[in-house]
């Protein structure tokens, strides 16, 4: 498939309920959201963007990321489909890679692998690592035009609008599964940061590497 102009859109906000303000919590020498963006900045074949909300509480997040050199789009606080569609349209993306900021260990090499695999697959509506990669090393790829069409005309529920790709999985759209590189070690660890315990585990992992510049392959061996 021809992916056209690809945007990697990282969704983040400060209003997390289980771990408030987690995007701004330190991970190594950086706030967690900047730790993730630092790992994604070497992307060669996609444009990196942060999508946050228009809420005043996210002003500090937006300003910090802009100062870090990553473009910021601000949109709906509650409707993730609308926010992603507006961001994709603003930057002219044909294909979107969806990353959530509670997955700080995703990196550019992982995304480049996923894009390469997705481009080589037959036609799909969403290409995903879910169920294939360790939890928290996740990416979902979809065509921006399809999501815009759903936003404009599909009967999306509140859950659909909150969880972005849920409608695609639940309504017989074409889902392609992306397998990890063959040289990755198997791991049952969870690399998301949703709770204080997750955050402490992430801190320990980062401390063992002394920085943000380590590969997923190295991470899986810890």
Confidence of residue 56 (pLDDT cuts 50, 70, 90): very high
pLDDT at 193 exceeding the cut of 90? yes
- pLDDT higher at 20 or 113: 113
pLDDT at 17 exceeding the cut of 80? no
pLDDT at 159 exceeding the cut of 90? yes
Position 205 scores a pLDDT of: 94
pLDDT digit string, tens, across residues 45-54:
999 999 999 9
pLDDT digit string, tens, across residues 98-155:
999 999 999 999 999 999 999 999 899 999 999 999 999 999 999 999 999 999 998 9
CATH code at 6-219: 3.90.550.10
Residue spans per domain, the chain: 6-219
**One-letter-per-residue 3-state SS of the chain:** CCCCCEEEEEECCCCCCCCCCHHHCEECCEEHHHHHHHHHCCCCCCEEEEEEECCHHHHHHHHHHHHCCCCEEEECCCCHHHHHHHHHHHHCCCEEEEEECCCCCCCHHHHHHHHHHHHHCCCCCEEECCCCCCCCCCCEEEEHHHHHHHHHHCCCCHHHHHHCCHHHHHCCCCEEECCCCCCCCCCCCCCCCCCHHHHHHHHHHHHHHCCCCCCHHHHCCC
For the chain, what is the mean pLDDT? 95
Position 210 scores a pLDDT of: 81
């Amino acid at each position: 498939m021809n992916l056209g102009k690809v945007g990697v859109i990282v969704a983040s906000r400060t209003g997390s309920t289980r771990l408030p303000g987690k995007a701004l919590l330190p991970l190594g020498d950086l706030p967690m959201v900047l730790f993730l963006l630092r790992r994604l900045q070497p992307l060669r074949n996609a444009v990196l963007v942060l999508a946050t909300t228009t809420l005043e509480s996210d002003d500090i997040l937006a300003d910090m990321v802009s100062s870090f050199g990553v473009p910021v789009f601000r949109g709906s606080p509650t409707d993730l489909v609308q926010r992603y569609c507006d961001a994709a349209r603003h930057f002219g993306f044909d294909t979107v890679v969806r990353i959530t900021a509670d997955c700080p260990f995703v990196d550019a090499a992982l995304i480049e692998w996923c894009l390469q695999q997705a481009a080589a697959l037959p036609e799909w509506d969403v290409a995903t690592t879910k169920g294939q990669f360790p939890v928290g090393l996740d990416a979902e790829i979809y065509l921006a035009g399809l999501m815009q069409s759903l936003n404009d005309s599909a009967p999306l529920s509140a859950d659909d609008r909150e969880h972005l790709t849920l409608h695609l999985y639940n309504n017989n759209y074409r889902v392609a599964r992306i397998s990890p590189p063959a040289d990755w070690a198997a791991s049952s660890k969870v690399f998301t940061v949703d709770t204080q315990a997750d955050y402490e585990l992430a801190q320990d992992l980062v401390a063992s590497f002394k920085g943000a510049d380590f590969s997923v392959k190295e991470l899986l061996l810890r």
